[in-house]
Amino acid sequence: MVRYVLSIGGFDPSGGAGVLADAKTFEAHGLMGLAVVSANTIQTEDSFARCEWVPHGFMEAQLLALLARYPVGAVKFGILESTGVLARLRGLVEQRRPGIPAVVDPVLRATASDAPLGGGGGGEYLQALQPGDLLTPNAIEYKILFGDEAPGSVASRSGLSLLLKGGHAQRADDGMVCDTLHTPSGTMDFRIARAEGDKHGTGCVLSSAIAARLARGEDLATACRGAQAYVGAYLRSEGGRLGRHYQ
């Protein structure tokens, strides 16, 4: 049986991030990847020059065509112009595929240039999403969105889950990376040996790997743990800052 998973995000011509990286990740997990492009960018693995947003009506038409034709098992959201666009697209997905797992990677700025991109405040993200959706911020993104509020508190009051990524945090003395999953029912840590090296698009790869595993029927905790291991292998792969997805 062919399983489908959908990415809604930006086009990175280097292939290291955005929907091209997502498609590679989906393929590596044995799924058929679909994509709606939200933005065209001029970037490489080590530079970012420009972002142009795709018209909203065109994005919606792409999305509706895919949902009408394919039994999509999960959806991953990447860079979007605003939380208003996120709310609109998430609502359309829910109408056509009620209860579908959704993973949201809140891309707030380009890592290569620190240039601000789309997004919105934390409250706007919570209003745009459905209970049970997963948000995957790193520590910096979480601080921008929710300030000093505890992640467990955000999860409890919103019905969402948050995977707080530890890869960009200060290096731990024990050489481990810890990602923490906060759900309305509790907290779980996932620890893995820190991989040396630096790859472009690791946030995209992590969130799309989670979406792929959810589409395969894994529970959220298992999907997060497996995706963390996948990113670890991606970081250890050859290819400079553009990693390899065959594992």
What domains lie within the chain, and their CATH numbers? Answer: 4-236 (3.40.1190.20)
* pLDDT for position 119: 60
CA 180 to centroid of chain Cα atoms: 15
* Whole-number percent of the chain with pLDDT over 70: 91
* pLDDT for position 113: 47
Say if residues 119 and 108 touch (Cβ distance below 8 Å). Answer: yes
* pLDDT for position 161: 98
pLDDT tens per residue across span 38-50: 999 999 888 899 9
Query: Rounded CA gap, 67 and 55, in Å?
Result: 19
- pTM value is 0.92
Tell me, what DSSP letter sits at residue 138?
B
Instruction: Give the range among 28-32, 81-85, 116-120 with minimum mean pLDDT.
Output: 116-120
Say if residues 47 and 17 touch (Cβ distance below 8 Å). Answer: no
Query: Rounded CA gap, 80 and 77, in Å?
Result: 8
Q: How far apart are the first and last CA of the chain?
A: 22
3-state secondary structure of 221: helix
